[in-house]
Structures are given as C-alpha cells and as structure tokens.
Chain A
Amino acid sequence: MPGDVISRFASVRLGTRGTQQKEHGFGQVNGHHGEILQGIFPDDAGRLHRGLVTLPCNIVSSTAVFRPAPGNLVTVPDDKLKAAEAARLTLDSLGLHDQGGHLTVESTIPVGLGMGSSTADVVAAIRAVADAHGAALGADEVARLAVRAETASDSIMHGDLAVLFAQREGNVLEHLGPALPPLEVLSVNTAPGALVDTVKQPPADYDEWEIQAFRPLRGMLRRAIRIGDAALLGRVATASARISQRHLPKPAFEEINAIATSAGALGIQVAHSGTVVGLLFDPRNPATVRRVAEAAAKLDDIGLPPALHFRTDAAEVRHVA
C-alpha cells in the first residue's frame, strides 16, 4: 500500500535526523503584542501576499509537554483544539500516523487580545511533539505546520528575528534583520471583556491606495532595522495602525494616539486582529521613565489603565510608575 511506503520512508527520514523517542518532549514559545506592520506586500517576483511584522512580547508564553503513547492523542485542557490539531499534523509529518500520546498546554498569554495565544499554543505543541521524537524542526517547518493547523499564524516561531511573514502561507517574504530596535511598550486593552476571535475574522479588504501605501512603510521599516532607529519604527507602526483603523477600528484610537503624542512616545502600534494598542517609547532615552508615567496617568484618566509594561528585548515585566 502506498501509505506504508510513505510511512516507511518517513521513519527512515526521521531516523537520519533524530534520536530515539523520549519519554517527554518539551516546547515553549513567547507571545507577541500585535504587529508593527501588517498589510499586503509584493514578493521578489512582484506577486502580492498578506504579510506582517510581529512585535515580540517575551513576558508571556505558552508551554507544552508531550508524552508519546500508542493510540489516541489526548490534550489537556481539551478545548485547545488547534494545539491538538497541530500535534496530530506534526506526528503525521513525522510519519507517526498510529502514534498518539498526552499533550499538556499551559499559557500565560491573554486570550482574544491579538497577542498570539492561539499560535503560541500551536507552536509550543509542535515543538513538544518534535522534541519527544528527537526531531529538530526549523522555524519554516514549524510555520508551515502552524498555518495548516490554524489557517493564519503569527511569526513567533522565528523568535526575535525581524521577518516579514506571510501569515496565511507560513513563509518569510523578507528577512529584515536579527531583531527590531528595542522598544519600551505601554500596553492598553481597548476593549476589555470583548473577546475577538482573531482567526475567524475575515482578512482586511485593503483598497488599491492602501496596497500601494504599504510599500513606503516597508521601506522605512528596512531602514529602521538596518540603522537601529526606534523613532522610524514608531512612524511605521503608527502608519500601519492608521490603515488598520479603517478595517478593525479600535475604540478610543484617536485619544490614545493624542496621549502618545503629547507624552513624547515614538508612536503607537496595534494588534491588527485584536484589541491591544501599544504606546512605543525608546528604552535608550532617559526621558522615557517620566514619559511612560505621564502617558500611564493620562490613560488612566480616560478609563483605559495600561495593563502591561514591557521591553521587547527583555523577559521581565516592568512596573508602571
């Protein structure tokens, strides 16, 4: 039977790149805080793709543990359907069609805000399954599995690498650099209590001007990363947020933007399929401590107290003064 041939071939392939099955496999990945840029971008051949550049948020993460066993695949908690699907796809891609096991997923990423909770569960599950079988999957392979499990996926499997990522195809359109310039982010949830199903939303229907307008944003982003210019990054983020506002409007967007401007922030950034907005500051500027405190107080005044404060290049939470 052809299936046998394929699985025999796959296990041979697995044998060449992995060690034996382990008792436990472990997988982890950090969340994000929406995007610096999201839109439509041409590839090298000029063909258009939906793409995004994620803003890392390393203070939240998902963790998965996979214990292989013959038979069924059991996932805990059992509502992590996409993580379960991802684990299944990963086993299949390793040729282990009859293999099951026990998958546990835990996450500190808030759900429904556009911070990557769903993709993080999926990526952690894929990594745990691969780890349990001694298979080292590259970020591109993880991305392809993630997209198959959940249709559109964030680029968190690439870690802090700055990539323009085609979220519906799972591949990198452009490698922008080793990392974004570091940012200090004051995070606001613009719709507390309102859960957005970030994956079920229809993709934004950009008009012809917007499709073209993403080009200069991408140009400025390249420069921001190349010369490490956080101010340019803030301009790109704000411009992308403005376009997003026409497709998935954030409540109080203009007020938040005005607070950012008056507090001397570099710009604002949004989760293009979520509810969080980030005010961006330059961590290398000594005035940032005072500016963040000022912005936090003003956000409080309009009933949107900041929920998080973090640096993109650090894993510890900062405390709003």
Chain B
Amino acid sequence: MSLEMTMSQPLSRESRGFPDYELPRLVRLTDNLHGAAFFLMKLLPARHMLDRAAADGRLKPGGTICETTSGTFGLALAMLAAVRGYRLILVSDPAIDEHLHKRLLELGVTLEIVETPYEIGGFQTARLDRLRAALEANPGSFCPSQYGNADNPRAYAEVAEQIAERLGHVDCLVGTVGSGGSMSGIARFLRHLNPDLHVIGVDTPNSVVFGQPDGKRLLRGLGNSLVPPNVDHRQFDEVHWVGAAEAFLATRRLHQHHALYQGGTSGAAYLVADWWARTHPDRKVVTLFPDEGHRYVATIYNDDWLAALPGWTGVLPEAPQPVAHPSDVRPSWSSFRWDRRMLDEVLAAGTPVAHDLAEAA
C-alpha cells in the first residue's frame, strides 16, 4: 500500500479497542531501574496487526481470524475480536490453562484443542496443521502470525514513544523474548535515538531462540521451540537464560520489594535488569513486565507449588554464570555476550569467556 493510501485510511482510534490498557505503567524501582509494567502486553501488537490488516483489506469487517496460541496473545485477540465483532478461531493443546480456556469461551472464541501430538514435531506441528485446515475451511480469514508479522515489532513504537517521553535518554533495555516482537521492536526504535543502547534479551534453558537445544520448559511466555522471524538477533548485546525456579522466585521478590504483582516472565526480566542496574549504577535501565500476576495465583504465588518444583532451593543467585557458547548454558541463570550478531555467527564462533560480562561491566 502506498504511503498516501496509508495516510487516508481510517485509523485505529476510530475502531474500538483498549488504548488505555495497551501501554505499560512506568514504575521506578531503584535510582536507575525503571519497570514498564503491562496489564497485557499483547494487546498492543494484536491491535496494531488487526488495524493494519483491516486497513489494507486482509481482514474484512465481521471477518474471521484464525491463530494458534495458548497464551496471552490469544487472550488479546479474543478481547479485540469481542469488541470489534470478528469471529476468532484459536487452535491450542491440552496444556492450555483452565481459567484462560473458560475466559476465551466467554469471549466467544471457537477453541480447537489438538488432542494428540505428532510423533515428529509434537503438538507444535499438529497445531500448525490444524491452523492450516481452519484457514482453508474459512476462505478469506486472516491469520495474524505473530512470529513473522512485521506489524508485531512495529506496534511497539508506542512503547518506545512513552519511554522516550517519560524517561528521556535510556542506556539499557532488558526484556524477555518469545515471538521477539516486543524486544526487537523497542530495541530498534530506541537505538535509532541512542546507537549505544545496551540491549539484553532474556530467554530460558531448552529454548532454541538463542541457540539452546529444544526441550521441555516450565517457564512459559518467553522462549520458543522454533526461531521466530521476528527475533532480530542483531539487536542484542547480551543474552541471559533464566531457569523457571529463579524466575518464579524473582517474580515473588518483585512483588515483595516493589509491590508489583506480575507474571513469571516479568520476574525473569526483573532478575536480570536488577543485576545489571546494580552493577552499572550510573546507567539508566528500563525493563519490560509483560503481564499481571492474577493468572498465576495457584502456581507462582503459591508457596506449596513452588516448594514442589524440581531443584527448588528457595535461594536466588546473586549473579549469572557467564558461558562461552549457548550450548554451554546450564539449567540455571547463565549469561553470554551476544554482540549484536546473527544466530549462525554466534553458533559458529561463541564468545571467549575471557572477555566476559563481568569484565565488560
């Protein structure tokens, strides 16, 4: 679509949405650490993707949206579909949270639960096949595909605007990476104003996003079993892998010390950002807290559930363990100098730990 056509399109604020829910509240945690606490971060990219699709005709008024997700992106789509009058088909698997399931049904979503994983490719491939079938069965339907849709990272210009307006110059951005939209998007926008911005991506062991082998993960929302095209690896100076137990404990600490009741990925981001802010007291740090804690009452905010976790110690490490290659990552908090490289480059070369992060600090 040409620019002049884009400019003459009717815009988002004219269709219903949740503008005051999309942006985070900025909270100062320490002298140099600021948290961007979202209600539901995915509302922003979901709304932007739907707006753009509606503007260029990929999504018709009253049309059908199909997507595979069992997380917060599905909830955001469901909220928007409900108020904008779209039909929404979500493909998920039996691991979907029971309360989220009920909430999606209440919002009028058609939920397709894939019951059996494929022998090769597991649930992920089985879900993608079911999604393809749903798209074929509903000609003209729109699939937002958050992993590859460039409107996902571009949506975050509004968060970058808010950060630039409220905090001015920022030295370091820390956040978790799932689809890659939030961190790749905000990093690129803020770096346009500050080429020296230090960007730290937070992943979890057994996620392939930054080069770990795929495996079972207890910490959800960040990490992935495939490498989403929306992860712009060259934006990252550092990558940390945070284990589930540490992330959950840090989530509780974020609540205890700062009264922010957020989800598990917020805890993972907080753990890393707080460490970096402490070791760089003269630099301004912003970190992203993607969702609230209410969905995790029975888990992260339940002491008995936490105590039953495998390898639970109840103690938070003070600092990460630097590693020389993503394949050296252990089940607990590790860090690696990524140096704004492509994934292939990093996997081929690693980074000698001699120049490790402690030294860079």
Contact = CB atoms under 8 A, between A and B. Distances in A.
A211 B6 CA distance: 10
A286 B189 CA distance: 32
A48 B192 contact: no
B165 A222 contact: yes
Contacts of A213: 157, 189, 192
B227 to A, nearest CB: 21
B164 A46 contact: no
Contact of B166 (A50, A208, A223, A236): A223
Interface in A203-255: 205-206, 208-209, 211-213, 215-220, 222-224, 227, 229, 231-232, 235-236, 239, 242
B161 A219 contact: yes
A205 B6 CA distance: 11
A45 interface: yes
Interface stretch (B11-19, B202-210, B286-294): B11-19
A113 to B, nearest CB: 26
Interface SS, B side: helix
Given A46-B13, A219-B163, A219-B165, A212 B3 contact: no
B283 to A, nearest CB: 16
A159 interface: no
A44 B327 CA distance: 49
A216 B193 contact: yes
B158 interface: yes
A44 B2 CA distance: 23
A40 interface: yes
Contacts of B10: 47
A49 interface: yes
A216 B11 contact: no
Contact of A217 (B3, B7, B162, B193): B193
Nearest to B167: A223
B161 A215 contact: yes
B190 interface: yes
B6 A46 contact: no
Contacts of B151: 208
Interface size class of B (residues with CB under 8 A): 20 to 34
B193 A236 contact: yes
Contact of A47 (B11, B158, B162): B11
Nearest to A222: B165
Interface in A60-113: none
Contacts, number: 84
A208 B151 CA distance: 9
B168 A223 contact: yes
A205 B3 contact: yes
Given A212-B157, A216-B189, A232 B168 contact: yes
A283 interface: no
Interface string B142-169: 0000000011001101101111111011
Contact of A46 (B3, B14, B163): B14
A134 interface: no
Contacts of A50: 7
B12 A220 contact: no
A224 to B, nearest CB: 8
B160 A215 contact: yes
B158 A215 contact: yes
A305 interface: no
B194 interface: yes
Of B154, B158, B168, most buried by chain A (CB within 10 Å of CB) is B168
B192 A219 contact: no
B273 to A, nearest CB: 20
Contact of A220 (B14, B150, B157, B165): B165
Given A48-B6, A223-B166, A236-B193, A218 B11 contact: no
A235 B154 contact: no
Contact of A212 (B13, B163, B166, B189): B189
A219 B13 contact: no
Nearest to A208: B154
B157 A216 contact: yes
Contacts of A239: 192-193
Contacts of A18: none
Contact of B7 (A48, A218, A224): A48
A223 B163 CA distance: 10
A63 to B, nearest CB: 36
5 smallest beta-carbon distances between A and B, as pairs? A46-B13, A219-B165, A212-B157, A219-B161, A46-B11
Given A213-B189, A215-B157, 17 more contacts: A40-B3, A45-B13, A45-B14, A49-B7, A205-B3, A208-B6, A213-B157, A216-B161, A217-B192, A219-B160, A219-B165, A220-B168, A220-B193, A223-B164, A224-B168, A231-B169, A236-B193
25 contacts: A40-B3, A42-B11, A45-B11, A45-B13, A45-B14, A46-B12, A46-B14, A48-B6, A50-B7, A205-B2, A206-B3, A212-B189, A213-B157, A216-B189, A216-B192, A216-B193, A219-B160, A219-B165, A219-B166, A220-B193, A222-B165, A223-B165, A224-B168, A235-B169, A239-B193
Interface of A: 40, 42, 45-50, 205-206, 208-209, 211-213, 215-220, 222-224, 227, 229, 231-232, 235-236, 239, 242
